[in-house]
Structure formats: structure tokens, C-alpha cells
Homo-oligomer: A and B are copies of this chain.
Amino acid sequence: MKSNKEATIYDIANALKISASTVSRGLKDHPHVRKEIKRKILLKAREMGYQQNKFASNLRQKRTNTIGVILPRLDSYFMSTVVSGMEKVANLAGYNLIISQSQESVKKEASNILTMFNSRVDGLLISLSYDTKNMDHINVLFEKSIPIVFFDRVCEHSDCKSIVIDNYKAGYEITSHLISQGCKRIAHLAGSLFRNVYSDRYEGYKQALADNGIENDNKLLYISDLTNDAGIEITRKILSLKQKPDGVFAANDTSAVALICEFKKAGVRIPEDIAVAGFNNDPVSRVVVPNLTTIDYPGREMGEIAASTLINQLNGRQTAKINSIVLGHELIIRQSTMKRRETDN
């Protein structure tokens, strides 16, 4: 029962002895078509198994109902949550999502942007790669006025919106918390300081130290890609320090968990010897022993809001000139930093 011929509006028009224009209008409920004819068109369309050819339509309308998504990696809990949220919103609004990964490389990011551009996405949602340093490769889109919404790893740009959390504040809060638990030497595991998410957390960390009269020691700053392996590697470095830290603030949970596991192997007690805090509230943070103190990071919401912001813009429903939307976060205190049991409930 295989047919290679697709039914077109012309076929419907012929079968009904009316014009293709009327069929076209009827199918999309245009007011200039009689109810009766509309019904007939719909019926015949169903009967013939008609499906709209989006290419013809897109070609004519210069619109694709497709949104491009570029992100560093898809395979983290956080990102998959974000994308899940985006997909939901986009789907509901009748948009398709084209997704691609930059694999943390500008080069691939640029080539992905070009592909998206060729595919004529209506708009782009993007979270920058680890080593993106300037925005030249995004200019193709700017020049064609294709709206862009940044999420999470954003970049200051007057023409586009960003969806973020207050990383500075979160970094400040988590560091203050460590200090309140009695930590005096706090190490920090950061990602690329070219990315707002990491530099802001770092700044918050430094400010909290300063506000509490603790000197910032550059030897306690570890920059890496924050993978599990990086965590293991850094643990080794920390253990070889003459003057060991009594607290660690890692910029994500993956590395924090790696740290905890390695520390435990080395006989370091968490949190008694070293308190450890992470960032993201990955499922793993609730499972590791001791449970990991972290920042709850609203991934799904971020995805949903990024998508709906972009879609609103595409539909001209531009509510004022929003530059950025800052979502709430929450410090989740768990065992891994509770040095002072008596002060907690």
C-alpha cells in the first residue's frame, strides 16, 4: 500500500472542482471561505491523506516555525532538563526544535550556527561553549535580524535577551554558608572564567571571603572543565597541598561528587576535615554520602522561559525591552557542609 505521490492542494482542488487558492484558504480557516466548502475541503483532505508540504509553505512565507538550539553538551542532567522544558513550550506553540551540540568548541559552535542559519531557523536559543571568546560567529544572525535568546551561559549584547540565575549571589551565599560553618580556607573549583556562570560564581566567592575578612589565596583556585576526571585530578592536587583547605566550593555537582568520593578514599572526612559544596542540584547530589550541599538550579524553567521569550518575540508579542530575566535559585544545605550540627535544625 505504498504510494509515493503526495496529495497536494491541487489534487484536492481538482477533486472538488474548485481552485487551489480556495483550498489553501479553506485549510487554514480563512474567513473568506464558506463554511460548507471548508467542511468539504477538510473532508476530502482527510480522505486523500493530505499533509501540508512545509517547504513550499516556508519558501513562500519565509518562516519556518523552527527554533535552533545550540548548547555545549546534551548529556548532563541540567542540560537535558533545560531542553526538555524548551521542547515542551516550543511544541505547544507549534514550533520545531533543531538541536546541536558545540562540544565546548567555538569552531563547532560557529559551524552549527551556520547550519542553523542555512536551515533558516526563525530564532536561536544558545548557551555558549567553554572556549568562546568573541561573538563574531554570531554576527551572521544579527545581520539578518534573527532573534537570539541566550540562556545560562550568556553574553552581554544589547540586542538580545538572556535567561540566567544570579550566579554572583549564589556563589556568595554558598561561600558565606561555608564560612558560617567554620571554614577558614576555602578552595574553589571553577570552569572557564570567560563564561559568566563561572566568573560570577567566582566573584561571589571572592566577595564573601572579603566580607568575612578572609584573604583570597590564588593557589586555592582550580580552573578545569569540571568533569568527573577533572575532579579526581584536582583532589590529588589538593591532597598534596602543604596547607590544606577546610572547605571547597565546586562550581558544579559532578566535580564536587568526584571530590567527595576521592577524598573519602583518601581517608579525609567530609565535612569534618573538609566541607564540600557543589552547584546544580543534580540528582546525584542527594545520593552521594554525605549528601551534597548545593544550589538548586531551575533547569526546566530556564528552558521553558527561554523558549517562550523567544517565541513571544517571534510573534511580535514583545513585552517591553527586557534585557535579561533572572530566575530564582536556592541554597540547599545538606550533610556535606554541616560541620556545626548544633546550629542547624
Name A residues whose Cβ lies closer than 8 Å to a Cβ of B.
1-4, 6, 49, 51-56, 58-59, 64, 66, 73-77, 79-81, 83-84, 87-88, 91, 96-101, 103, 112, 114-115, 117-120, 140, 142-145, 228, 254, 257, 261, 283-284, 286-289, 300
Contacts and interface: CB of A to CB of B under 8 A. Distances in A.
A2 B96 contact: no
Contacts of A103: 88
Give the 9 A-B residue pairs with the shortest CB-CB distance, closest first: A80-B80, A55-B59, A289-B289, A75-B84, A75-B80, A55-B58, A74-B84, A55-B55, A287-B288
Contact of A101 (B55, B84, B284): B84
B74 A257 contact: no
A98 B96 contact: yes
Contact of A80 (B49, B79, B115, B119): B79
A288 to B, nearest CB: 5
A118 B54 contact: yes
A106 to B, nearest CB: 16
A55 B120 contact: yes
Given A58-B55, A75-B84, A4 B96 contact: no
Contact of A118 (B52, B84, B119): B52
A184 B55 CA distance: 61
Contacts of A83: 74-75, 99
Contacts of A4: 144-145
A96 B80 contact: no
Most B CB within 10 A of own CB, among A1, A49, A286: A286
B98 A97 contact: yes
A268 to B, nearest CB: 16
19 contacts: A2-B144, A3-B144, A49-B140, A51-B117, A51-B118, A51-B140, A54-B119, A54-B120, A55-B59, A66-B98, A75-B80, A75-B81, A75-B84, A77-B80, A91-B100, A91-B101, A96-B100, A96-B115, A261-B286
Contacts of A289: 288-289
Contacts of A287: 257, 261, 284, 287-288
A54 B76 CA distance: 32
